[in-house]
Chains A and B, each alone.
Chain A
Amino acid sequence: MPRTKAILIDITKCIGCRSCEQACKQIHGFPADTEAHLSPTALTVVEERGDRFVRRMCMNCQDPACASACLVGALKKTDLGPVTYESSKCIGCRYCIVACPFNVPQYEWSKLVPYVKKCDMCYARQVKGQPPACVEACPVQASIVGWREEILEEAQRRVLLDSKYVKHIYGSEEAGGTSVFFITDVPFEKLGFTALPSQAMPILTANALGDVPTVVLVGGSLLAGLYWITNRRKHVALAEAQQATDYTTSTKSERS
């Protein structure tokens, strides 16, 4: 896999100023009102958990459930890291929303032509070498962006050097690893993070999909074989009946 971009969010540094939210809304042309939860017009929000601020956004998984779910391939993991959404392909089946373990994608339920909305780490900006708008707007560098390995190293460095941190980087292995990491000094479960297995989600369906050729070949030939037997039996039965009638007619004619 080529080098990918990642964001590190240090919860101990966030002051809850919501500059990231505003920057995100501005760049997408959404109304500037502050929203409490993720919505089609709030692709990142700062949620208050006790006296900590937890920013939520798409985790841009390394092996995303949404991209494996999307039947038309509208959602894609790009080589650069962000998981993008090509709205012109979307048919509105909403399987991505069912599949996402982080409950991130938001559907435009009240629109007549509804699309899925989620953060794509400002893919268009990152291609041009610019940082995501939210990261750029952060006045205290609670969010930083960089190459995934380097960002992960930085997170490890902070967690190891300072004893206040919980000894875990959320996102380093959750759901097979993500492109957004969180570090904190308050246990993750108290901040509303869901504990997830380290297995990438698409593996759950890979086995079933792998069975397709077997079902088609084995099932198909089994049925064809059974049909051959059925057919053969029918022919044999017919031939025997024919013989029997031939025999009776011939014996009758001999007698007469």
Chain B
Amino acid sequence: MSTLSVSRLSMPKFTLWRAVVAVIFVAGLYATYARFALGFHASTNLADAQPWGLWVGLGTLCGVGISAGGFAIAAAVYLLGFERYRPIVRASVLLSFLGYLTVCTGMMYELGLPWRIWHPIFMWNRHSILFEVSWCVMLYTTVLSLEFSPALVEKIPIPRLRDFYLKWHHELLIGLVLMGAVLSSLHQSFLGGLYLLAKGKVDPLWYSQYLPTLFYLSAVPAGLAATIMAVYLCTRSLNARVDPGILTEMSQVIAPLLYVYALFRGIDLFTHGGAARIFAWREETGLFWLEIGLFVIAPIILLSQEKIRRNPQHLYFTCSLVVMGFIANRLNISVTAFQSTSGFYYVPKWTEFALTLATVTAAAVIFHYAVLYLDILPKNRVHEASKEDVTWMVTPNLIGGRA
């Protein structure tokens, strides 16, 4: 996808990454057709024993969780005065905004009757955790769009309109960031709260009355890790200039957050009796250790090495482990934990993968263009790009295709 950076310099060309993106979009289009013209049965492997599958587990739970970086960094900079992170505020807010748009798009596929998506605005059930989640997500997506809006508005060529908007925006910004932090804290944890009601259906390795707390504690490090990854890729292939020291400092925040999560999770497993199962050999146990290994053990060991924290590329790799471990955790809760109690073995249909992949790819492409054409991150000055520069930028291994 990053080959698109060439478009400014030359005519669009056929490249490997463009081909990959095109294939993903075509597959996504077919999945769209299958979902809306043929229905759930043709487009998913969902059943009453597994009513929420990949679209919820990966699309919604991971989409929202990985987008936690936006509220954390905005709050750190604007409310707590960590000016150090100011250069990456916009990038992290954009990442979150696109993450939430991905979630909202996914919701249109996930819901059986998506044209009624507005119902929760008027039809209330305040005993429902999902009701709270839906309101928080609606409000927070609005907050994110407002937080991000100056990046677009400042490009409006009408100075009076532009300045008027930016002046008001400046006045309201602190309120928005504060609202964002509170709304995020609520729904990040309530996504875990959704599973409280399914006690008895969720394997004890994952069920806990503290699921909301665990979801919150895991989302923040995952969101920060995703932000590090995105910023790193921008410096690597989109000509952004960010002091690598910022990423190192962020990683020094991630490690203690992972410690806190590990400690809480451990204590919780022992007090709830889930601990009896961590060495009993079952498929679930294997997936549990995969999750713990990727999300907790490996990153904690790696981040304790000064060498790794100081090397952006190694840091990127470590953060990708955190994100993968986070995804493993959410998929374990939403799929593995149910399968062990229902006996129903759910393997997502290819169209389920295709759709989720297509929405994430779309977000990555938009992120890419936004970083190129808007002022998202500080940039290196590009002097007239020579032919060599162009070739350098299209070399596949330098491209953000791993995003």
Contacts and interface: CB of A to CB of B under 8 A. Distances in A.
Contacts of B209: 204, 207
A230 interface: yes
Give the secondary structure class of B's interface. helix
Contact of A220 (B47, B110, B178): B178
A160 interface: no
Interface stretch (B87-95, B120-128, B355-363): B120-128
Nearest to B75: A223
A146 interface: no
Nearest to B127: A68
B6 interface: no
Given A72-B120, A91-B112, A223-B182, A98 B128 contact: no
A230 B79 CA distance: 7
A103 interface: yes
Interface stretch (B198-206, B227-235, B391-399): B198-206
A98 B52 contact: yes
A204 B207 CA distance: 12
Nearest to B175: A224
Interface string A6-17: 000000000000
Contacts of A89: 119, 123
Contacts of B324: none
Contacts of A219: 181-182, 185
Nearest to A89: B123
B48 A71 contact: no
Contact of A98 (B81, B110, B127, B198): B198
B70 to A, nearest CB: 15
B97 interface: no
B194 interface: yes
A111 B212 CA distance: 34
Contact of B49 (A95, A103, A209): A103
A227 interface: yes
Interface stretch (A49-57, A136-144, A194-202, A246-254): A194-202
Contacts of A238: none
A205 interface: yes
Contacts of B117: 91
A169 interface: no
Contacts of B340: none
Interface residues of A, number: 54
Given A92-B113, A209-B127, A223-B75, A194 B197 contact: no
B41 A110 contact: yes
Contacts of A74: 123
Contact of A90 (B36, B48, B113): B113
A237 to B, nearest CB: 10
Interface string B102-116: 000000001111101
Contacts of B197: 65, 68-69, 98-99, 201-202, 204-205
A223 B177 CA distance: 10
A94 interface: yes
Contacts, number: 157
B132 interface: yes
B191 to A, nearest CB: 11
Contacts of A226: 79-80
Interface in B326-363: none
Nearest to B117: A91
Interface in A72-105: 72-74, 89-95, 97-99, 101, 103, 105
Interface in B144-197: 174, 178, 181-182, 185-186, 189-190, 193-194, 196-197
B77 to A, nearest CB: 10
A109 B39 contact: yes
B40 interface: yes
Contacts of A94: 51-52, 112
Nearest to A40: B48
Given A107-B48, A205-B129, A230-B81, A91 B113 contact: yes
A1 interface: no
A115 B113 CA distance: 8
A91 B185 CA distance: 25
B21 interface: no
A125 interface: no
B134 interface: yes
A68 B80 CA distance: 38
A165 to B, nearest CB: 26
A17 B24 CA distance: 54
Given A95-B194, A112-B39, A113-B113, A208 B129 contact: yes
28 contacts: A67-B127, A68-B128, A69-B128, A71-B120, A71-B128, A72-B123, A72-B131, A89-B119, A89-B123, A91-B113, A92-B111, A93-B110, A94-B52, A98-B52, A113-B113, A114-B113, A194-B200, A201-B197, A204-B209, A206-B127, A208-B190, A211-B212, A215-B182, A223-B178, A226-B79, A227-B80, A230-B79, A234-B81
Given A73-B125, A227-B174, A230-B79, 11 more contacts: A68-B125, A68-B127, A70-B125, A71-B134, A90-B113, A90-B116, A97-B48, A98-B197, A202-B127, A204-B199, A219-B181
Nearest first, the 6 A-B pairs at minimum CB distance are A92-B112, A230-B81, A71-B131, A72-B123, A73-B125, A110-B41
